[in-house]
Amino acid sequence: MLTSLSNDRIKAVSALIKQSKMRKQKGLFVVEGSRMVSEVPAALLQELYLSESFAKKKENLPIIEKLTAPTKGRPGLEPVLVSDTVFAKMSDTMHPQGILAVATQPSYNIEDLLTGNTYLVLENVQDPGNVGTLLRTSEAAGADALFLSAGCADLFNPKTVRSTMGAIFRVPFFYYEEIRSFLVKLDAHGISTYAACLEGSEEYTKVSYGEKCAILIGNEGAGLSKAAKEGSRFRVRIPMEGQVESLNASVSGALFLYEVKRQHSGI
Amino acid sequence: MLTSLSNDRIKAVSALIKQSKMRKQKGLFVVEGSRMVSEVPAALLQELYLSESFAKKKENLPIIEKLTAPTKGRPGLEPVLVSDTVFAKMSDTMHPQGILAVATQPSYNIEDLLTGNTYLVLENVQDPGNVGTLLRTSEAAGADALFLSAGCADLFNPKTVRSTMGAIFRVPFFYYEEIRSFLVKLDAHGISTYAACLEGSEEYTKVSYGEKCAILIGNEGAGLSKAAKEGSRFRVRIPMEGQVESLNASVSGALFLYEVKRQHSGI
């Protein structure tokens, strides 16, 4: 059992939790809690850490057995036992459940992703909770993939991972390099682009979304860049009453995605 | 200038920031940052605290003058100067701007609020960010008031206040005591109630919302209580694809409110 914070494995996990740079470098990330850890596809599960008291509880046996059993292409996994005190310090949560996994970051080929019908494109959405919620909503609304700029909150930040509620393992995503050329690429694949912005001349429920479409959502404070607005085929707004200047990014994205879903399902 | 954390005024502000109980007892709350402080109606503004460096900057003079000028029924306000170090410790934010106000909590009479058309009712929504975002979205969607159970996150929690983006001063709200009798009250005022829940037999875009309606949104994990679902006239769901089990509470509320808005505006 690991009982020291200076143990190399514990230090490596802490670094993956805290440092986006380390996550990128290793291609790994950390998932916490029974619920989220059970969502990790077996092929991506690299290491399993259990607190002493989690491992001792009878009711946790089934999940531990399921996670550590040998699967196609991978031998059985040996869980790492950690003292409760060290686990609590290593954990990113206030009330750690005592189970945590190191997983390989899923990755996708952009060309494979462009054969669907509905996409969400984020530009510099900086709140990890918003990015995670937008991924979760993308799955619920039936979007085919999420595209992110490098300036967005890291998808593998523990707060983002939690907010996705498992969608991080189910909705494909891709980090694009530059918005102008990326919009050209979408266009070349027959995907119409709709920039969500206050200056939009049409309301989001009065626009007809093509069979293949992508919705662009910008930064929480500044909205979409000029390049994103100009490079999109349509500029569309959500009507707002009162003195509200903008909606929360997760809310805007959801309203658009569900309007697309409504139109695509022919209501 | 106040230079000590043990000064009584500083301690009183810190208590208002940290303790919901203290906010309730005094009927006050704290608002931070130039943007939010300028939203405080003059009649509610009680005290103004400025950090030394905020007060020194020329570009801040207009806002300081505007906030401290005498207004109808109130003499001029004397701002309290605080050293930068003490201000940073008193503030709830990571990067304090150096301006903070103590304000009276707005309060409303329930009978006055029941003459509108669209309402949002929250039951035990626990995340302060969700409660704040739902108030902000209520304003944007043109809802007439927000109703909350005692189990909801405190509206005057600094994080909630921030998430409202000023809507806390513009959208009326009321804390109801018990859901069953509150739903009966709404019904008696001709307001139809729609419970957002997974078991809803109808989809939210296929339901016809009456001229006067209230949408009920429940707790992030558990959803609405049995009493809330049974006491509502309709049980309605948002369709979800993939393996998503639920949507974020702010997202669900927004989808409902904007669907009501769409129907009410006759699209």
Report the pLDDT value the prediction gives residue A134, as an integer from 0 to 100: 98
What is the residue range of B201's domain? 110-264
Chain B residues within 8 A of A248 when measuring between CB atoms: 133, 136-137, 163, 250
Same domain, A26 and A67: yes
**B132 and B63 together in one domain:** no
Q: Which of B63, B80, B104 is the last residue of a domain?
A: B104
Q: Given the DSSP bridges, would you call strands B145-148 and B173-175 parallel, antiparallel or unpaired?
A: parallel
Domain membership of residue B153 (yes or no) is yes
Q: How far is CA A51 from CA A8, A38, A92, A103, A134, in A?
A: 17, 16, 14, 18, 32
List beta partners, residue B122. Answer: B148, B217
CATH number at residue B80: 3.30.1330.30
pLDDT digits (tens, 9 = 90+) for B46-55: 999 999 999 9
| Cβ(A4)–Cβ(A145) below 8 Å | no
Q: Helix (H, G, I), strand (E, B), or coil: what is residue A208?
A: coil
Which DSSP letter does residue B248 get?
Answer: -
**In the predicted model, what is the mean pLDDT of residues B188-195?**
97
Test mutation, B258, B259, B260, B261, chain A, max A CBs within 10 A = B258
Q: Does A170 touch chain B (CB under 8 A)?
A: yes
- Whether B74 and B123 map to the same domain: the answer is no
| Average pLDDT of span B181-199 | 97
In a domain, A3, yes or no: no
d(CA B101, CA B96): 13
Domain boundary among A46, A76, A104: A104
Q: Does residue B1 lie within any of the structural domains?
A: no
Q: Which residue has the tokens 């206040």?
A: B161
Closest CB from B238, B251, B267 relative to A205: B267
Considering only CA atoms, which of B12, B119, B136, B190 is closest in space to residue A220?
Answer: B136
Let me know if residue A78 belongs to a domain: yes
d(CA B237, CA B224): 12
Q: pLDDT category, B266, cuts 50, 70, 90?
A: confident
Lowest mean pLDDT segment, chosen from A96-100, A187-191, B71-75, B129-133: B71-75
B92 and B149 co-located in one domain: no
User: Alpha-carbon distance A54 to A52, whole Å?
Assistant: 6
Domain count, chain B: 2
Q: Which of B171, B251, B261 sits opposite A254 (nearest CB)?
A: B251
- B208 and B80 fall within a common domain: no
**Is the Cβ–Cβ distance between A211 and A261 less than 8 Å?**
no
Would you give the distance in Å from CA A224 to the centre of its chain?
Answer: 20
Strands (E), A87-157: 99-104, 118-122, 145-148
Same domain, B173 and B220: yes
**Is the domain of B78 the same as that of B127?**
no
Instruction: Judge whether A1 lies within some domain.
Output: no
Chain A: nearest CA to B163, how far in angstroms? 9
Residues A156 and A192 in one domain: yes
Q: What is the pLDDT of residue A267?
A: 53
pLDDT band for position B101 (50/70/90)? very high
* B47's tokens: 């005290």
Closest-CA residue in chain B for A253?
Answer: B251
Q: Which residues of chain A have pLDDT under 50?
A: none
Looking at the complex, does the CB of residue A258 fall below 8 Å from at least one CB of chain B? Answer: yes
177-206 of A, contacting B, C-beta below 8 A: 205-206
The CA distances from residue A225 to A123, A156, A176, A185, B72, in Å, are 8, 24, 15, 18, 43
Find the distance separating the first CA and the last CA of chain A, reported in whole Å: 58
**Per-residue confidence (pLDDT) for residue B94, from 0 to 100:** 84
**A132 & A45 share domain:** no
Reply yes or no on whether the pLDDT at B267 is more than 60: no
Residue A200 lies in a domain: yes
A220 and A126 fall within a common domain = yes
Q: What is the CATH number of the domain that holds A220?
A: 3.40.1280.10
Instruction: Supply B228's token pair.
Output: 């809330």
The closest CB to that of A251, out of B171, B242, B254, belongs to B254
Mean pLDDT of B192-216: 95
pLDDT of B73 over the 80 cut: no
Q: Which of A48, A78, A104 is the last residue of a domain?
A: A104
**Backbone torsions φ then ψ of B216, nearest 5 degrees:** -105, 125
In this structure, are A260 and A165 located in the same domain?
yes
